Amino acid sequence: MAMVMHATPIASVTGGNKRYPGVVALDNVDFTLHRGEVRALLGKNGAGKSTLIRMLTGSERLDSGDVHLSGSLLDGGDASLTRRAAELGVRAVYQELSLVEGMTVAENLCLGQWPKRRGMIDQAQMQQAARQCLARLGVDVEPDALVESLSPAQKQLVEIARVMAGDPKLVILDEPTSSLASAEVELVMAAVTKMSALGVAVIYVSHRMEEIRRIASSATIMRDGQVAGNVALRNTTTSHIVALMLGREHEEQVPVSRRVLPEEAVLEVQGLCLPPKLDAISFTLKRGEVLGIAGLLGAGRSELLKAIVGLEPFDSGVVTLNGETLRQPDYAGMLKRGIGYTPENRKEAGVIPLLGVDENTVFTNRHAVSVRGVLQWPRIRTFTESIMQRMSVKASSSETAIGTLSGGNQQKVVIGRWVYAGSQILLLDEPTRGVDIEAKQQIYRIVRELAQEGKSVVFISSEVEELPLVCDRILLLQRGTFTREFVSPVSVDELMSAILSVH
């Protein structure tokens, strides 16, 4: 992607330093971005990406160094720094969207800046402003539609359209496609391309290398609070980028090899129907098997796991667990029978952010750490530290609030709680969403180790390329039922082609 660079950068950080207690977040960072440039910002969780973003948006101040936006120094009091950055044209869209679900698209787009006439909100003008805002990025959504009725991709596009109001100079997109399927990613890609064509500079944070190469011309790679490198993507291999991120050469991963599994079935699902998503679903999970479920977002993958574990009542069908037939499982009963479940949305349903790693780990089996109903903290610490070591969780102590950990470390705790509970079957819904490359590899290793120990895993992922790296077998969910089966080693190209097929 050819780019004409203007003399004055849209954004620059010079000699940026930022420290928190016990942590060097930014170490002498220099960063420059020009008009219309799409720059990928890459690095492991904890590398300094989020801190750099906070400095550019004015939500925090550098300890030393300067931030310039549109040629002006970002300065002022702490209370006004964010407002000053916004006045200089900085906007950000974060992974957790800030839309108000119960309001319309138009109301969200004009939130806080509603056009008024005679002291009342001017509905006609608001609708017109919303249409213009949506049309600017080619977003096909009705202004009077309720946000709660939109698809995840439409919500993401509305959020992006909202930050385009007011002639922004720099838009920061933090993992904008982490919850989207492949077909929906295209809509976000098109919106970013239009922003760049309008002269808006974009910082694009993502762990998905394929889409980064498609949308960005350059990348800044961060490691341990420093800029490890600035590269032109067309001239740089993915292996080199990963080496800069990790500080070592990246070992190319290969698909799981075929292996002989026991014939023993630990979980059987027969004729499960859950309209409108699932119709006559049947499959068998063997002891020690990692079974992947592939399909587009909205195909019913998450609903299937919820139905099995007893969180979603189904219309018909049976679930057989270790020979016991259950016509309508209940969640508490399934947990007692040895099933562990990690939800798709880690932050909303997987962790209690203000509680420690210890409490988030042991609440799946409080009896093991209680005496006559009283929690035994030395025992809790011992169990938690054992799980942290097993799962490669990085935290200053077992009592650290889990909400302060990186996404990858949070996810490893979420999986680890079921290892602590002794679960023999793990249902993992998007276990690597929003985590960095190193954490993904650790999760793959953990899952494979659990399988070698005889535990069985159902693994759902929207990142198609990772399924062959961890699964012994993959089932493709389309049109409410399983349409194809792939046995390891699985070709990513063949799997992707099957997922995107309309036949």
Does 284 have pLDDT greater than 60?
A: yes
Sort residue 288 into left (φ over 0), alpha (ψ -120 to 50) or beta: left
Beta strands in 94-249 (DSSP E): 116-117, 120-121, 170-174, 201-205, 218-223, 226-232
Tell me the sheet residues that pair with 456.
425
Number of domains in the chain: 2
Contact 185, 177 (CB under 8 A): yes
CATH for 484:
3.40.50.300
Task: Name the helix (H) or strand (E) containing 459.
Answer: strand 456-460
Give the model confidence (pLDDT) of 5-60 as tens digits: 446 899 999 999 999 876 788 999 999 999 999 999 988 767 889 899 999 999 99
Q: Which residues make Cβ contacts (< 8 Å) with residue 118, sequence separation at least 6?
A: none
Per-residue confidence (pLDDT) for residue 350, from 0 to 100: 80
241 in any annotated domain:
yes
Low-confidence winner among 111-125, 164-178, 369-383, 417-431 (lowest mean pLDDT): 111-125
Regarding whether 494 and 454 lie in a shared domain, the answer is yes
Contact 13, 61 (CB under 8 A): no
Look up residue 459 and give its two tokens. 């693994």
The residue segments making up the domain with residue 19 are 1-89+170-180+200-252
Tell me the sheet residues that pair with 189.
none
Burial 390-424 (b: 16+ CB within 10 A, else e): ebbbebeebebbbeebbbbbbbbbbbbbbbbbebb
Regarding whether 283 and 241 lie in a shared domain, the answer is no
Per-residue confidence (pLDDT) for residue 119, from 0 to 100: 78
Per-residue confidence (pLDDT) for residue 4, from 0 to 100: 46
Regarding whether 350 and 434 lie in a shared domain, the answer is yes
Does 348 have pLDDT greater than 80?
A: no
DSSP classification of residue 480: T
Give the model confidence (pLDDT) of 297-344 as tens digits: 667 898 999 999 999 999 999 999 999 999 889 999 999 999 999 988
Last residue of a domain, one of 252, 287, 312: 252
Regarding whether 325 and 206 lie in a shared domain, the answer is no
Regarding whether 458 and 345 lie in a shared domain, the answer is yes
Does 288 have pLDDT greater than 90?
A: yes
Tell me the sheet residues that pair with 116.
121
394 in any annotated domain:
no
Last residue of a domain, one of 190, 218, 252: 252
Does 495 have pLDDT greater than 70?
A: yes
Q: Single out the residue of 63, 50, 60, 54 nearest to residue 16, CA to CA.
A: 63
Cis (ω within 30 of 0) for the bond into 489? yes
Burial (CB count within 10 angstroms: exposed 0-12, middle 13-18, buried 19+), residue 162 = buried
What value does the mean pLDDT of the chain take?
A: 86
283 in any annotated domain:
yes
Q: Single out the residue of 115, 153, 155, 162 nearest to residue 134, CA to CA.
A: 162
Contact 340, 418 (CB under 8 A): yes
Tell me the sheet residues that pair with 371.
374
Does 286 have pLDDT greater than 70?
A: yes
292/464 Cα distance (integer angstroms): 10
Does 272 have pLDDT greater than 90?
A: yes
Regarding whether 205 and 313 lie in a shared domain, the answer is no
Give the model confidence (pLDDT) of 135-154 as tens digits: 877 788 899 899 988 877 78
Per-residue confidence (pLDDT) for residue 314, from 0 to 100: 92
453 in any annotated domain:
yes
Indicate the residue type of 276. Answer: P
Last residue of a domain, one of 252, 274, 290: 252
Q: Rounded to the nearest 10 degrees, what angle do helices 407-420 and 437-452 cross at? A: 10
Band (pLDDT 50/70/90 cuts) for residue 248 is low
Regarding whether 66 and 39 lie in a shared domain, the answer is yes
Does 179 have pLDDT greater than 70?
A: no
317/325 Cα distance (integer angstroms): 10
Regarding whether 431 and 493 lie in a shared domain, the answer is yes
Regarding whether 76 and 1 lie in a shared domain, the answer is yes
119 in any annotated domain:
no
The radius of gyration of the chain from alpha carbons, rounded to an integer in Å, stands at: 24
216/42 Cα distance (integer angstroms): 12
Band (pLDDT 50/70/90 cuts) for residue 207 is confident
157 in any annotated domain:
no
What's the average model confidence in pLDDT over 165-194? 81
Does 221 have pLDDT greater than 90?
A: yes
Q: Single out the residue of 256, 265, 335, 271 nearest to residue 304, CA to CA.
A: 271
96 in any annotated domain:
no
Cis (ω within 30 of 0) for the bond into 168? no
272/274 Cα distance (integer angstroms): 7
Long-range contacts of 2-5 (CB under 8 A, 24+ apart): 3/34, 3/36, 3/37, 3/217, 4/36, 5/34, 5/35, 5/37
> Kind of pairing, strands 370-371 and 339-342?
unpaired
248 in any annotated domain:
yes
Long-range contacts of 440-448 (CB under 8 A, 24+ apart): 440/207, 440/408, 440/466, 441/253, 442/391, 442/392, 442/408, 442/412, 443/408, 443/411, 443/412, 443/415, 444/253, 444/469, 444/470, 446/390, 446/391, 446/392, 446/412, 446/415, 447/290, 448/256, 448/290
Contact 355, 404 (CB under 8 A): no
Regarding whether 457 and 331 lie in a shared domain, the answer is yes
First-to-last C-alpha distance (Å) of the chain = 34
| HEC assignment per residue over 363-402 | CCCHHHHEECCEECHHHHHHHHHHHHHHCCCCCCCCCCEH
Regarding whether 347 and 439 lie in a shared domain, the answer is yes
329/213 Cα distance (integer angstroms): 45
Regarding whether 283 and 232 lie in a shared domain, the answer is no
